[in-house]
């Protein structure tokens, strides 16, 4: 067991507190331990299970990162640092994003209300994919329950300095799940089949996240929707929260439609076309805009 600590400097303005606020109640954050200004989780990087711990000072201008692992060599440490920078978007130059508010007072007030909030990713692409599929067409509380069930049935545990942390199951483990067991645990027939099939696709290499990340957005969507259970919404959700693509708008997302309809005074949910239309002014940063809206929705703003 080896441990290394170092400090990270995000570009300004940055708020680790906002990231924690989001993760503390996000239905997707079922493997994460989140405090007001602290975060910890076990994650598999480069074939090794690592424990990542992050804390921030009160002003949160810099982060303290602690990485632990059984064999923490230079490569593993480097991977952990890159993971944190990517997952929390520490290196983004957000000045162009902040200027988006100029032409749209409603969205502008959102940017002003959450200074330093950044698109915060789900730790692993496979995790983002499964959580998205599980979250299809069910309410958020129930989706969280199903995610916890999947972890209970197939998740792993890592031990770091005598303490146990949950880990995402390996894709092959998910592929080997018994659909009847999932059904007995409130998965629908098709949701069980999607989850198992996608586990197999990732395990076999047929679904390759590195390849997806290298594709332009439109082609990535086409590639992803070729897999059963992955429609446009799921593909976009994965691209945004799993791979950190900056400019994708999941206009069919019910939550997005609800919060946008409310803020723009429609007195109803916005339609998909309305969301898509509004999003044109967020060009280049549409994923970030979606994330800001989700953040507002989660907070009841």
Partner DNA sequence: ATCCAGGCTCCTG
Partner DNA sequence: CAGGAGCATGGA
Q: Which chain residues interact with DNA by CB under 7 A?
A: 26-28, 135-143, 145, 183, 186-191, 225, 227-235, 237, 241, 252-255, 258, 269, 294, 298
Report, in Å, the least distance between residue 83 CB and DNA. 21
Q: Which is nearer to DNA, 84 or 256 (CB)?
A: 256
Q: Which is nearer to DNA, 62 or 264 (CB)?
A: 264
- In Å, how far are 4, 10, 13 from 7, measured between CA atoms? 10, 10, 17
Residue 134 CA to residue 151 CA, distance in Å, equals 12
Q: Which is nearer to DNA, 28 or 245 (CB)?
A: 28
Q: Which is nearer to DNA, 170 or 252 (CB)?
A: 252
Report, in Å, the least distance between residue 229 CB and DNA. 5
Gap between the terminal Cα atoms of the chain: 44
Report, in Å, the least distance between residue 35 CB and DNA. 19
Token readout for 103 is: 């032409």
Q: Which of 240, 284, 300, 277 is nearest to 94 (CA)?
A: 284
- What is the 3-class SS of 212-277, one letter each residue? HHHCCHHHHHHHHCCCCCCCHHHHHHHHHHHCCCCCCCCCCCHHHHHHHHHHCCCCCCCCHHHHHH
Q: Which is nearer to DNA, 30 or 56 (CB)?
A: 30
Report, in Å, the least distance between residue 77 CB and DNA. 31
Report, in Å, the least distance between residue 20 CB and DNA. 15
Residue 67 CA to residue 53 CA, distance in Å, equals 6
Whats the size of the chain, residue-wise?
301
Report, in Å, the least distance between residue 136 CB and DNA. 4
- Provide the phi-psi class of 300: left if phi over 0, else alpha when psi is between -120 and 50, else beta: left
SS3 190: helix
Report, in Å, the least distance between residue 137 CB and DNA. 4
Q: Which of 155, 162, 160 is nearest to 69 (CA)?
A: 160
Q: In what order do the strands lie in the sheet with 2-8?
A: 2-8, 63-69, 48-56, 38-45, 33-34
Q: Which is nearer to DNA, 44 or 262 (CB)?
A: 262
Q: Which is nearer to DNA, 161 or 218 (CB)?
A: 218
């Amino acid at each position: 067991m080896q441990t290394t600590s170092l400090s990270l400097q995000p570009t300004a303005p940055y708020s680790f507190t906002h990231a924690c606020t989001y993760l503390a109640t996000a239905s997707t954050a079922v493997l994460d331990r989140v405090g007001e200004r602290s975060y910890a989780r076990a994650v598999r990087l480069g074939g090794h299970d690592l424990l990542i711990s992050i804390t921030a000072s009160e002003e949160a201008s810099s982060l303290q990162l602690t990485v632990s692992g059984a064999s923490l060599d230079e490569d593993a440490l480097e991977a952990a640092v890159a993971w944190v920078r990517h997952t929390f978007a520490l290196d983004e130059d957000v000045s162009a994003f902040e200027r988006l508010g100029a032409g749209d007072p409603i969205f502008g007030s959102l940017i002003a209300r959450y200074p330093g909030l950044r698109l915060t990713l789900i730790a692993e692409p496979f995790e983002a994919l499964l959580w998205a599929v599980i979250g299809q067409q069910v309410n958020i509380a129930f989706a969280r329950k199903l995610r916890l069930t999947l972890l209970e049935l197939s998740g792993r545990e890592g031990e770091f300095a005598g303490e146990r942390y949950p880990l995402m199951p390996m894709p092959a483990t998910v592929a080997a799940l018994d659909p009847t067991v999932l059904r007995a645990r409130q998965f629908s027939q098709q949701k069980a089949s999607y989850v198992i099939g996608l586990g197999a696709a990732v395990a076999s290499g047929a679904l390759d996240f590195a390849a997806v990340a290298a594709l332009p957005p439109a082609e990535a969507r086409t590639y992803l929707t070729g897999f059963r259970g992955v429609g446009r919404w799921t593909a976009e959700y994965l691209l945004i929260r799993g791979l950190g693509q900056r400019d994708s708008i999941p206009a069919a997302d019910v939550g997005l439609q609800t919060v946008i309809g409310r803020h723009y005074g429609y007195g109803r949910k916005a339609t998909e076309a309305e969301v898509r239309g509004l999003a044109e002014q967020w060009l280049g940063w549409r994923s970030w805009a979606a994330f800001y809206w989700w953040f507002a929705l989660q907070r009841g703003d």
